[in-house]
């Protein structure tokens, strides 16, 4: 599936690394593909984090923006946030 702006919520801060959030039904491996976030190349910067929520699985991942040429965005594999519910 392709990136959908509907699930993207940019951080409104003007300076410094920002944390954006993105909710999707796409698997982590799909979101991690170079170019997935190209539609928001003008918004994200190298060093920003994208908090990705896969609403199907569900999984939660912090993905750093590693490069942005202005048209092509590449994010790192990310840090999966483990979730347990023992009750």
d(CA 43, CA 32): 17
Percent of the chain with pLDDT over 90: 63
d(CA 65, CA 56): 23
Q: CB-hemisphere CA count at 13 Å for 78?
A: 24
pLDDT of residue 1: 67
Strand partners, 50: 20, 63
Of 42, 71, 56, residue with least CA distance to 1? 56
3 state DSSP class of 13: coil
Domain residue spans in the chain? 17-80
Average pLDDT over every residue of 72-83: 93
The answer on pLDDT for 46 being more than 80 is yes
């Amino acid at each position: 599936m392709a990136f959908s702006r509907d699930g993207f919520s940019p951080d409104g801060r003007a300076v410094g690394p920002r944390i954006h959030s993105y909710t999707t039904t796409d698997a982590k491996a799909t979101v991690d593909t170079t170019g997935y976030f190209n539609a928001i190349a003008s918004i994200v910067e190298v060093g920003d984090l994208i908090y990705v929520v896969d609403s199907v699985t569900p999984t939660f991942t912090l993905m750093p923006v590693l490069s942005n040429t202005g048209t092509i965005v590449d994010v790192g594999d990310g840090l999966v946030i483990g979730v347990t519910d023992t009750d």
